[in-house]
Amino acid sequence: MTAIASPVSNADQIIRRGLRLSAAGLLGLVLVYVLALKYTPVEARQGVAQKIFYLHVPAAWSALLAFSLVGLTGALYLWLQDPRLDRFSAASAEVGVTFSAVMLTTGPIWAKPIWGTWWTWDARLTLTLFLFFLFVGYLALRAALHDPAERARLSAVVGILGLLLVPFIHLSVYLFRTLHPQPIVLKPSAPSLPPEMLRTLLVSTVVFTLLYIGFVTARYGLALAAESRELEENPDVG
Amino acid sequence: MRLALAVAGKDVRAELRSRTALLSALVFAALVLVVFNFARDPTALSATALAPSVLWVTFALAALLAMNRAFTIERENAALDGLLLAPVSREALFLGKLLANLAFVGSVELVTLPLFTLFFNVSLWPRLPAVLGTTVLATIGFVAVGTIFSAMTVRTRHAELLLPVLLLPFMVPPLIGAVQVTSRLLAGRPWSEMWGWIRLLAMYDIVFVTLCTLVFPAVVDE
């Protein structure tokens, strides 16, 4: 690895690459807005409110991607003990929390005009809320631990346990809801979207994935820079 | 297994000699029950409608309190290092800690149950074995996760705060399951309505006890 020669410049490179990717993602986001507002047809029953779909669903996709990767890299870390995996998990968890915040804010804004309520204890809603809490807890634990190796091990364990918790929460909130039938929720399950909508959704998903990669790369580079700075200041610790 | 019992026995003996933690946890559980009674509008909501949720929220809070001390007692005089140096496998150590926690949480639950029937005027007696069985099934799972998180958070300065933040999401599936089964038991519903939930509780126990035993070495080993 070239990092041994000059870790700081290497971190700089990674940060710059991450920022470039994020900038491309943000430009893509502008495209998504234009597509959503101009290109896609207005949905017959929901009207303009449905446009939020093009942000909400891709944000949810990125959040789920982020959280699954935290669990998987956690498991890999316990096996391979590679600090790069830990840095990636931490970056991914932070970005995942951001995307789930987007998802949890756009959700109620969409739900209010369509379902008539900001919040309902729908199974999927509850699941994502708990995912959010789970990873806020994960980050809180990371912040409270100072020894890098210890922090990596413990947060890897939380990531793995969290990954296995998801099916249980899903199953229990699903059983909970279906056993207590609620007023019918008008959700567009839309098996066949009009092609314009589908294309816009796909573009948006690609853009959000790009944003995810960009943010994680930048965050990874920042963590690397912070580590090498610490190492420079007190070399005997490493 | 014998070693696990030895570890658990050590904790139980230490607890029985001081009794402070157990007594405070019991008083705490009783207080939560009393507070809940006043948090309910008696004209709007009958005691039986709310009873299962109250019971399980009380259990959850008391368990959180109890599990906080599982590893804090080992922090004093670096007792945990002593335990780790002892010729005990990490798995046995975890199971021992789990058993001790179960004994602790279990005894709090055992004392809370009669108080609960008294305060909320529900009759558990005809369904007592089933209620106890549900309690055991739901408790094992979240105490297993709580034991491992307690071993983690004790290394931080905010253990009392971090443990609930980490553990509460993990308590959700067992709590939902236990409340559902308990309310159906109290309402005298047939078994077929509870079977799905009981399976969920059992699955949770199997998955998390196994997983926590497997990853525990990563938590304590340097």
Which residue range(s) make up the domain with B73?
2-220
Measure CB to CB from residue A150 to each of B155, B180, B200 and give the nearest one.
B155
Three-state secondary-structure class, residue A43: strand
Q: So where are chain A's domains?
A: 6-181+189-233
> What confidence score (pLDDT) does residue A197 get?
80
Given a cut of 80, whether residue B217 has pLDDT beyond it is yes
Mean pLDDT of chain A: 82
- The model's pTM is 0.83
Name the CA dihedral angle for B218, B219, B221, B222, rounded to a multiple of 10 degrees.
100
Distance between CA atoms of A219 and A18, rounded to whole angstroms? Answer: 8
Contact B176, A172 (CB under 8 A): yes
- How far off is chain A from B180, nearest CA to CA, in Å? 8
Distance between CA atoms of B173 and A184, rounded to whole angstroms? Answer: 24
Measure CB to CB from residue A168 to each of B204, B215, B222 and give the nearest one.
B204
> What confidence score (pLDDT) does residue A187 get?
45
Residue A47 DSSP symbol: B
User: Cα B19 vs. chain centroid, distance in angstroms?
Assistant: 18
Residue with tokens 């610790």: A237
In tens, the pLDDT along A156-190 reads: 999 999 999 988 888 887 777 655 444 444 444 54
Measure CB to CB from residue B215 to each of A136, A160, A173 and give the nearest one.
A160
Q: Do A156 and B212 touch (CB under 8 A)?
A: no
Mean pLDDT of chain B: 86
Q: Is the dihedral of CA A174, A180, A182, A186 positive or negative?
A: positive
* A39: confidence class by pLDDT, cuts 50, 70, 90: confident
In tens, the pLDDT along B44-77 reads: 777 777 888 889 999 999 888 888 877 777 777 7
Q: Do A153 and B218 touch (CB under 8 A)?
A: yes
Cβ–Cβ pairs < 8 A, chains A and B? 87
Mean per-residue pLDDT, A88-92: 92
Three-state secondary-structure class, residue A86: helix
Nearest to A148 by CA among A214, A93, A230, A66: A230
Contact A117, A52 (CB under 8 A): no
Mean per-residue pLDDT, B153-157: 85
In tens, the pLDDT along B68-80 reads: 877 777 777 777 7
Which of B53, B80, B172 would you mutate first to test chain A, the one with the most A CBs within 10 A? B172
In chain A, whose CA is at the least distance from the CA of B142? A165
> What confidence score (pLDDT) does residue A190 get?
46
Contact B131, B124 (CB under 8 A): yes
Q: How many domains does chain B have?
A: 1
> What confidence score (pLDDT) does residue A3 get?
45
> What confidence score (pLDDT) does residue A235 get?
65
> In this predicted structure, which of A87-91, B17-21, B135-139 has the lowest mean pLDDT?
B17-21
Measure CB to CB from residue A175 to each of B156, B170, B196 and give the nearest one.
B196
> What confidence score (pLDDT) does residue A2 get?
44
ipTM reported for the complex, 2 dp: 0.84
Given a cut of 80, whether residue A83 has pLDDT beyond it is yes
Given a cut of 70, whether residue B26 has pLDDT beyond it is yes
Residues of B with CB under 8 A from a CB of A: 145, 148-149, 152-153, 155-158, 162, 165-166, 168-170, 172-173, 176-177, 180, 196-197, 200, 203-204, 207-208, 211-212, 215, 218-219, 222
- How far off is chain A from B159, nearest CA to CA, in Å? 9
- How far off is chain A from B6, nearest CA to CA, in Å? 26
Tell me the percentage of chain B whose pLDDT exceeds 70.
99
Distance between CA atoms of A160 and A165, rounded to whole angstroms? Answer: 9
Mean per-residue pLDDT, A47-63: 83
In tens, the pLDDT along B188-206 reads: 888 888 888 899 999 999 9
